[in-house]
Chain A
Amino acid sequence: MDVSGGTFGVASMFHASVALGWREVVRFLRQRSRLVGAIAQPVIFWILFGAGLHSSFQPPGWSSELHEPLTYQEYFFPGIAVLIVLFTAIFSTITIIEDRRDGFLQGVLAAPVSRLAIVAGKLLGGVFLALVQAALFMVIGPLLSSVGVVPQIDLQISILQWIPALCFLALVAVELTAIGFVMAWPMNSTQGYHALMSVFLMPMWLLSGAFFPGGERGWLSWLIWANPLTYGVAGFRRLLYSEALPVTSELPALSVCVAVTFVTSGLCIGASVWMVSRPAQHNVV
């Protein structure tokens, strides 16, 4: 028999990914509750936890290199930016389960588009939304500090720091969205995903040095060391300061942070493409 039909080129693949990513953005903008949930909750956390833990905060050892003493508000700042990215990644990937339930996903899977483009579309949408919100926070945060809503933070973020910091945050967003993809794909219910979020994703963020410094020793420091998100938070934290901060177990070198985040992203994207490529009963409605 004659096997006819063209191939799906790189340009078509990119176009398909952009179309799927654009759909994520349009859906996001048409659901205002998502907009509020993704940015307002982390900002409220930042204000309230900052106010509550301000006086009892023990700055980590590496902060002695800073010009001004490190406040909890300032320590928590990069952690909140990563939390915004994490929430956006969760909301973006939970739509996989909704798309499957609503029947949209089976239409995408029956199309000739490459499976990598399907994963890339979800990542593109998630990363774009995460970056816009995180960038918004990076403007709102210092503003809230300057008007006295939160204690003083000593972050003078210049445009030259903004660009590499946001680029690195984009890599963290790819990592978190890809982790969310791997977790959401086999799930059939959003409730199940919420449960997984509570026992895996939130602890992963808590144990990343985003919320509290882990210290140099003990089981907690091992968990923080083994957590890939630790390197995401640390890398972003480093890029917010013009000073060269010392390398410690809880603040690894930037090259290590980039490498770990890059490898974790690659592994999760590979796993996502592998899962999407396998025809499976649970993908049909």
Chain B
Amino acid sequence: MAVSLVSVRELSHRYGGTHALQKLSFEITESSLWGLLGPNGSGKSTLFRILSTLLPVQSGEAYICGASLKSHQGVARRNLAVCFQTPALDVRLTGLENLKCQAALYGLTGVQVKDRVKELGQRLAISDVLGAAVSTLSGGFRRRIELAKALLHRPRVLLLDEPTTGLDVHSRIEFWKILKSLRDDYGTTVIVSTHLMEEADQCDQLLMLNRGVIAAQGSPVELRSRMTGERLRIRCRSVEAVLSQLVSRLGSPTSQHGDEVIWHTQKAGQRLSALVDSCRDDLLSIELSQPTLEDVFLTLTGSSLVEASDSVQGG
């Protein structure tokens, strides 16, 4: 039976009169890759900050490796590593100096530090840049050094807050390969907050948050299987001109943004040719696909992951 490493029960958090989290409960099992998915204002950053012990537990309970974040923060911190969205690196120091400083904060000394720096340097391909001042390094290398910092004390739980922000596509792919290898090789439980679908798709389990409550929970496959039919995305020159025609053929759309209208409908493929014939001059593009996690979120919450809702302070 899988062991629960992160346990959250009835967790609530408020900023003044605004609820950021409302009675959240979930369990995260070991050696898994979890994604916290939600738009800005969904509460995922607040949850991340509470789990990383930077914000207090106001109401409810939260445990990391069995240690309560109310009473045993020190024990929780020893088992936990955090990679913040803003890298917690001192840019005036070299990568190696940053790692040594971090090692001291976790009670690591001497040969132990040397061995782990060497191992992580090779694993994350940063050995050659550790002697350079962090201010001279690219965003990709900074992220890797930040990750090396987090892994120095071999945490059981690794928390990452939108870790690929600002990285190019290649660096992002490489970063996710590393995260998967941590889960597979070290048995680290990795929890990543993200709003990117392609990243969420790579997680073992997802926790979808919306306005401080859990909208859905499960593997990407399970979540997608909740949607039936297909996803039809149509872009038009003038939506107003053809919308009534499209609605008469396809029913009410699931969402509409600018010149783009999306339907989730059964047997959309069979209706395509008739649709193209009737609106050919007004159509820019038609895309037929399987439902995405974005669609699942949209259907469950009525709001888009991409469209930020900044109504809740602190995310």
Contacts and interface: CB of A to CB of B under 8 A. Distances in A.
Interface of A: 1-9, 12, 15-16, 18-20, 22-23, 26-27, 30-31, 99, 102-114, 278-281, 283-285
Contacts of B296: none
Contacts of A109: 53-54
26 contacts: A1-B7, A1-B63, A1-B66, A2-B66, A3-B72, A4-B79, A5-B79, A6-B78, A6-B107, A8-B74, A8-B107, A20-B105, A99-B90, A103-B84, A103-B86, A103-B87, A103-B88, A107-B149, A108-B105, A110-B53, A110-B82, A111-B77, A112-B75, A112-B106, A279-B54, A284-B55
Question: What 7 A-B pairs come out closest when comparing CB atoms?
Answer: A107-B88, A19-B104, A1-B66, A103-B86, A12-B107, A112-B77, A111-B105
B66 A112 contact: no
A278 B55 CA distance: 9
Contacts of A1: 7, 63, 66
A7 B100 CA distance: 20
B290 interface: no
B102 A4 contact: no
Given A2-B66, A27-B92, A102-B91, A112 B86 contact: no
A111 B149 CA distance: 11
A109 B77 CA distance: 9
B55 A113 contact: no
B55 A106 contact: no
A30 B94 CA distance: 12
Contact of A110 (B54, B56, B85, B103): B54
Nearest to B75: A5
B210 interface: no
Nearest to A278: B56
Contacts of A26: 92-93, 97
A30 B79 CA distance: 34
Given A5-B67, A16-B105, A111-B105, A281 B314 contact: yes
Given A16-B104, A23-B93, A104-B90, 5 more contacts: A3-B75, A107-B84, A113-B106, A113-B107, A281-B314
A75 B63 CA distance: 60
B160 to A, nearest CB: 12
Of listed B85, B86, B105, residue having the most chain A CB within 10 A? B105
Of listed A19, A22, A30, residue having the most chain B CB within 10 A? A19
A111 B76 CA distance: 10
